[in-house]
C-alpha cells in the first residue's frame, strides 16, 4: 500500500495534488510520502515482534537526509556501505550504536571514521578485512564489534545483478569455512565477535530462499556456540521484494517474513537485525515527469519525457518495470507508446509498447515505486542537473534536495591556469 491515490481524477501524494508540486518545483522531480515510509517501517517492527530486534534501513536505497531522519526518529537503525553513507546517517541524527557497516571493500580510513564516530558493528566479509580492522582498532586502542558475513550458497532466484548469496558472488565468506575464520577472528586483537551476518540478494518474491539461508545460519549459530563463541546477534540482511506493477503476483508480506524468521531462528535467543531498503522506500516514492513531445515513428509512437535514464536508471540497467500512469486520469489505456527520455542513448528507454491513455505535450506522468534506487543512482549525464527531491506530509510538502543550477554544476569544475 502507498499514499499516491487519485482524487477527483488527479493523482495526489497524500493530500497534495501532484500538479501543485510540478508547478512549484518543476519536473522531473522525485516525490516521497512520509506516511508510506512510516507505515512500511512499522510493518517490519510489528512483524518481528516479540523477538528483540533492530530494523536497520539500507541507506543505499534512499540516502536523503530527511528520509533518514524521519526513519531514525521512529527508532530505525541504518545499514551503511561507505563512509559517505555513514556520515549521512550521523548527519541525520542516527547514533553510532544504531549503525551497521556492511560492504565488501571497506577501507582503513572508513574503519577509522566509524570506530571514532561510533558503530554498532562491522559486517566483515573477508579474511583480509579482518586483519585490516584488527590493525585499525588496535592502533586506536579500541575494540571493533564484528559479525562475519557468511555466504550460504543459496540462489535467491532474483536478477543476476542483485544476487549476493551464491558461492560465485563476491560477497561474504563460504559458510563451509565459517568456523575456521571465526576462530581466526577470536584470536585477533581489537575485535569482539557479536554475531553472524547473511544477505542473499534483493527483490526476492519468495520466502523459500530466505528460509534455506536462515536454517543454515541457525545450524552455524549452534556450532559456533559449541566452539565457545558468543553469538548474540543475527543480522539477516534485507531483500524482501515489492510489487512494481499492480498486475504481478504480490511478494510475501512482512508479517509472513517475520513468522518465517521466528520459525527458523527464533529459538536461539539472539537479537535479530534486518536491513530492508526497497520495501520501506520503494513504494513511498514516485518520479514525476512531463511530456515534451509525441513523436510518430515507423510502426510505433514515442512519448518523449523530460525525465531520462540519468534520473531513473533502473529500466536501462536492469530492464526494470515501473508502472507509468497519467497524473490526470485519462480513462482507459487506448494508445500504445514507447516511453523514452531525451538522453542521447538508445538505452534511454523506460518502456516499450506501454498502453496508456492518450497524452498531449505538457501532460504529467508518474513512475510508481521509484523511491528506492532512484535518486541515489542518478547522475548528471548529458550535463543534466540532478533531479530534485520533495517530501510530502499530509497537505504540505518541502523540497528536501533542490535541483542544482547550471552555474552550480559549472562551478564544480576547475580549468588549470596553463589552459
Active-site positions? 344
Residue 272 neighbours by CB under 8 Å, 6+ apart = 48, 51, 52, 53, 54, 233, 234, 236, 261, 265
Rounded Cα distance between 272 and 264, Å, is: 12
Q: Which residues pair with 173 in a beta bridge?
A: 150
CB count within 10 Å of CB 183 equals: 13
Residue 28 neighbours by CB under 8 Å, 6+ apart = 287, 288, 289, 290, 305, 306, 307, 308, 311, 387
Amino acid at each position: 500500500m502507498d499514499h499516491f491515490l487519485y482524487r477527483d481524477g488527479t493523482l495526489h501524494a497524500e493530500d497534495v495534488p501532484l500538479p501543485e508540486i510540478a508547478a512549484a518545483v518543476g519536473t522531473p522531480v522525485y516525490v516521497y510520502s512520509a506516511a508510506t515510509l512510516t507505515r512500511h517501517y512499522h510493518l517490519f517492527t510489528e512483524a518481528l515482534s516479540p523477538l528483540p530486534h533492530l530494523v536497520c534501513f539500507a541507506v543505499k536505497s534512499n540516502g536523503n537526509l530527511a528520509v533518514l531522519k524521519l526513519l531514525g526518529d521512529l527508532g530505525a537503525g541504518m545499514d551503511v556501505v561507505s563512509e559517505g553513507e555513514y556520515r549521512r546517517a550521523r548527519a541525520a541524527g542516527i547514533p553510532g550504536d544504531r549503525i551497521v557497516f556492511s560492504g565488501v571493500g571497506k577501507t582503513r580510513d572508513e574503519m577509522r571514521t566509524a570506530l571514532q564516530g561510533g558503530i554498532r558493528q562491522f559486517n566483515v566479509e573477508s579474511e583480509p578485512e579482518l586483519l585490516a580492522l584488527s590493525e585499525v582498532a588496535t592502533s586506536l586502542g579500541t575494540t571493533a564489534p564484528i559479525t562475519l558475513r557468511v555466504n550460504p550458497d543459496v540462489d535467491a532466484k532474483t536478477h543476476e545483478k542483485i544476487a549476493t548469496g551464491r558461492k560465485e558472488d563476491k560477497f561474504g565468506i563460504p559458510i563451509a569455512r565459517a568456523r575456521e575464520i571465526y576462530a581466526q577472528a577470536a584470536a585477533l586483537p581489537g575485535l569482539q565477535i557479536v554475531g553472524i551476518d547473511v544477505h542473499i540478494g534483493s527483490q526476492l518474491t519468495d520466502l523459500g530462499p530466505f528460509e534455506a539461508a536462515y536454517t543454515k545460519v541457525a545450524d552455524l549459530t549452534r556450532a559456533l556456540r559449541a566452539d565457545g563463541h558468543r553469538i548474540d546477534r543475527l543480522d539477516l540482511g534485507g531483500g524482501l521484494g515489492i510489487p512494481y506493477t499492480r498486475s504481478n503476483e504480490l511478494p510475501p508480506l512482512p508479517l509472513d517474513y517475520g513468522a518465517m524468521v521466528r520459525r527458523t531462528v527464533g529459538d536461539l535467543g539472539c537479537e535479530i537485525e534486518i536491513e530492508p531498503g526497497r520495501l520501506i522506500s520503494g513504494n513511498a516514492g514516485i518520479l514525476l515527469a512531463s511530456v515534451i513531445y509525441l513523436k510518430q515513428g515507423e510502426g510505433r509512437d514515442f512519448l518523449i519525457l523530460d525525465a531520462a535514464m540519468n534520473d531513473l536508471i533502473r529500466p536501462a540497467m536492469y530492464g526494470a518495470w515501473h508502472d507509468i500512469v497519467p497524473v490526470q486520469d485519462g480513462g482507459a489505456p487506448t494508445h500504445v507508446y514507447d516511453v523514452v527520455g531525451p538522453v542521447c542513448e538508445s538505452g534511454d528507454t523506460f518502456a516499450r509498447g506501454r498502453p496508456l491513455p492518450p497524452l498531449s505535450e505538457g501532460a504529467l506522468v508518474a513512475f510508481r515505486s521509484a523511491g528506492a534506487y532512484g535518486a541515489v543512482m542518478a547522475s548528471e549525464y548529458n550535463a543534466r542537473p540532478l533531479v530534485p527531491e520533495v517530501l510530502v506530509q499530509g497537505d504540505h510538502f518541502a523540497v528536501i534536495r533542490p535541483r542544482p543550477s547550471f552555474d552550480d554544476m559549472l562551478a564544480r569544475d576547475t580549468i588549470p591556469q596553463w589552459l
